[in-house]
Structure 1
Amino acid sequence: MKFNKIFLILFIFCINFITLAEEIDQNQLKKLAQIAKKEKKVVLNFDKVDIKILTYFVSTLTGKNIIYPPDLKGEVTLISNEPLSIEQVWDLYTTILKSRNYDIVEKKGYFEIVPSNIRNSVPPITEKLVGSSELATFVYKVEKADIIQVANILRGLKSQQGLIFNYNPAKLIIITDTKNNIENLKQLISLIENLSEEEEIKIFKIRYSKSDEVATALNNLFADYGKKDISYKIVNLSSNNTIIVKAPKEIIKDVEAIINTIDIPIQGENLNYRRFWTVKLKNSKAEDIADVLNKVLENIQMIQYQVSSQEAKQTQETTEGKTEVSTSQNQSMPEKKIITQPVYQKNEKPKIIAEKTTNILVIYANKAEYEAIKDLISDLDKPKKQVLVTALIAEVSEKALREIGVRWQILGSSGGATFRGGLSSQDFYNLIGTGNFVSGILTQSGKTVSISGNNLFFPDLLFLLSLLESGTGFNIISSPKILTLDNAEALINVSQVTPFASSLKFDVNGNPIINYDYKEVGLKLKVTPHISDNNILMELHQETNEVIGYEKPQIGQISYVVPITSKREINTSIMVENGKTIILGGLVSKKTIDTMEGVPILSDIPVVGNLFKYKSNELNKTNLFVFLTPFIINSPEDIAKITEEHQKILEQLKKAEKSKEGN
């Protein structure tokens, strides 16, 4: 028996395999069907199998000879959620034939498939529906609910060309419909099967709106129920514009009231009826646009418009005890007065909700409000330009800095940049030596490339090549690139995670346990570009952390190491031309290198060994600089072209660096 069960699993797998084969080995199919026949149960999982193959399989499984006409053709997708008996498979097969306008007639020693006499009363099922929605057949075994009641509900919700059959003896529901609708009907059956006494299922036929829009609106409005562990389910059947709701009875009443408010016709010129609308965003995040629109609606309390105020003026003057006779002249030219009148009360304003998963805005408003909001959305949801920021982070010696043609400026502590008309070498080194941040714009020209009609220079890396080739002190640490939207922040993080001992405690045996926190040490640079014509205003936030020493706290006989770090940061804004290079500097690193040389063996002799040793301390001073080049991106082709040019120069830099190391 166990051996047969293994073959039954193999048989189910082989059914999936043979549906994809162009030629079927009938002997193999017959063998597999015979194995299932011995088990007397089979799980059907046919995917786009030819109906003739299905006929041969059923014939072998049931032992019945079947003759089919030449015009019997088409593919069948047939899935069952539970194993079926051989008799149930036969009943299912005959049902599929009926759905395709065929009957099966028993004759002496065989069964014959013939065209149905009720062809005109049963809608023919074609291979594909409008929109290429493929048909499939699904068999569901009803466990808890009344099968007749379930079948009647499903018949009211099938698509126009779908068919629902119920096989009462085995409590089987046979659904032939589009795959999408079958999935929805399966959800509905599951809802019915698992319905509790406190819950209710209600079907709403949407008449004037789109069911998918109403379902999205309901899911957003009732999202808080899910947070409160209140179970509810909303199923959208777009094929017949219907919504199915399963929820506690008190919530069903709320849903019905909302749908009645939403699903109403717009009556002529009366624009006061509020309903739900949906807008799919193309270029922006729904939550961002919703936040902007809700803030606008929050601030708008009243509008102003001009009306004729002759009577209002007379009323005002009468109230003040004055009487004035109106003349034909002042009647023909009435004065106008600005009258402020509220458009809506605070609790009556339009509502806008963001659906994050689909990036859709759900708007509850009347026609006039919706049109105004939609126009504003069109203005906000425009394609945004992008900025490609290329960075090169390098350690540069003082000698190399002198050879770079840069117009330097000092970055003030308040965040602004103070131009000094250029700094002398002495002033420059004095500034960075005292820990000031500086920036500059590279003035040397380089290669010119035409991108989107603009001639862009690529100077940021060309001069570095000469430094490497000449052996000048220069070391590339990192060369990241980052693409960001206009007005959106981007982060460049070149750091390493360093453990910091945070506390020390002892276990029950007196053994020390040191707890560590892990912090990033290195350089972080936040860049927010703002495009203005062919210039880019760069908002920069630079933060540098460096380990400058170590402490060794001691508790009793236990000591541990704690790194000491320095942190410096600055906020500034710099205007730079598209494709020009900004240089940020001011991080000076001082490292003391201890070296010892000695004569082998002799230098290890205590006391006397010091005569054979040589110790030296060398102070190594480096300056860390960041070279930033922003490029305005108008199309994907721009990115490819810029990246290609930078890749060429980077390859040259790497070759030069390797050559320098080789020497």
Structure 2
Amino acid sequence: MGNIMSYCSHFTNTPNIIPLKHLITIVFRVKLVTLFLFLSIEISSANFSVSFVDADIKEVINTVSKNMNKTIIIDPKVQGSVSVRSYMLLDEEKYYQFFLNLLDVYGYTLVEMPNDILKVIPSKRAKGSIVPMLKENGEIHGDEIINRVFTLKHISAKTLVPLLRQLNDNAEFGTIIHYEPSNAILITGRAAVVNHLHSIINTFDHAGDTEVELYKLNHAVATEVAKLVNELITSINNSKKETFNIGKIIADNRTNSILVSGDSSVRKKTIQMIKDLDHEESSFENTKVIYMKYAQASKLLDVLNGISQGQRSDKKASVVSKSQSGNIAIKAYDQTNALVITADLRMMKELEQVIEKLDVRRAQVLVEAIIVETQNAEGLNLGIQWANKYSGGINLLPRPGHARSHSEQPMPMVIAGLTAGFYKGNWNGLFTALATNSNNNILATPSIVTLDNMEAEFNVGQEVPVLTSTQTTATDKVYNSISRQSVGIMLKVKPQINKGDSVLLEIRQEVSSVADSSNTNTNNLGFIFNKRAINNAVLVKSGETVVVGGLLDEKLSKTVNKIPLLGDIPFIGGLFRQSKEKVDKSNLILFIKPTILRETNDYSVVTIDKHTKYKDSNSQENTINNNRLYHDLLATEIKSDSYNQIKKDIMSFYDNAEMRL
């Protein structure tokens, strides 16, 4: 610089003018020297020299923080003295790595926070800190703590993790875990160690021998062997001792073969396992006695024989060993309700599974019915019943002994004593309503408990002899052939429980009787039978009431009113007698309610309910008689009022006639 200044001063003191060429040369040299000095200053400022003797580690960290122009937070547990010296100048990157190595030697680590703030903490606490996640294609060198996820393509992560843990020198604060669903490994530790483990992972995770081998079975069934091998491999993989890596195992039913894919060692182990399973079964036949709990042994024979025959035909078609298609015998012993089965072990196991599913407790159905005959379409006002079926039950007339206000209108006799709302299960109210009215004739109230899908029958009546044929011999002896025909009340019900609480009822109900011979002309051909029958199927929920009816019947009756003696005089006797014909119509109605009984408690509830009804039957009968007496008194009152009104009208008519005269 001095030469330049002297050179410049030299040219300045010269009286002559400086040439332009020399002036440009001087300026260029000045700029070149200035640039050289600037670069020298920048290079020297980026170099650091480290020398500490028994210095407090916190002072060392603060010095590094100032030199690197970074904010570093020091954990309170960081303490101690540091002695270190570097005999060479370090650039900024080497200076930072030297600082990380120094912390590692003294048991500390540097963690970078998301806001570009650094903190120094003990290495053991690095696991619980927020560690930056390195991308799969990224790379960091040195002792910086990082997280990295490796996704394996060809080998099992569960298999490789134990090996990586043995090679990890960050065991105090680093972690290596695997995530089986995505076959991935997560490693936390120093960047140098993580990169080293990455190279090991790449060495093992490569495509191996993935050929496919076919093994044809000679004795076993392909689908069953494939299922068994897969279950065995799964159980081995779930254990902590060993991991069995395998590609795929597929069964080919058409050729009774198994396809195995994977590397050569895996295929070899798998095929050896299949060979051990593909052996001829023992022809030893086992005999077993199975006692039924709920089902009837004889009724299971057809099902079990059909299953065993189907299994034998399937095994023959699949080229299975002859011992598997040997003799199978299934017999029923009715005295103890047991099945005696002779079969091989495999078939015995299958039959036992089928029997266990079939021998279950069947639900039962309580079927309650009321068969009632109403006279002259009276006694039951169905319109009122339907209109009030959601009202919960209403007594339509006051009880005997209760006064009736003058504002109340007299109700028709056809609805006297009826209770509305029985469609919500008010069975007792329905029975009381029907029994109260004298126009109703309750023929039967059967209550039957039957098994699901089993027909139950209720029959009350008598057998009437019917002449079917007459034969006369040569000696004029007459032989009559007689058959008997049942007449009375018959109810057949077959309930079938569907999904939920619905019941399909197949109903057959019949009411028959012998016709009155005085009103029929049979010409001595025999009896005439009156029959009314219902054959129907309905779907109803458990506990609900169904009405089936509308069977009308007409009876013609003749009555003769006459004056004794005078009514029997020929020709003129008709003047003293009167003949009337009356037609009585009756309507047969069936009320039926099914109730599903599934558990033992259901039977107890029904038993208690029936016992309560039986105890209350006498009081109900007294109530019904009182209601009937009240209805008769009410009818007499109505008739008396009508008679008095007519009498009053007649007397008024005569009084008016006398006044006119």
With structure 1 as the length reference, what TM-score do the two structures score? 0.42
TM-score (normalizing by structure 2)? 0.42
Structure with the greater alpha carbon radius of gyration: 2
Higher helix share: 2
Whose RCO is larger (CA < 8 A, sep 6+)? Answer: 1
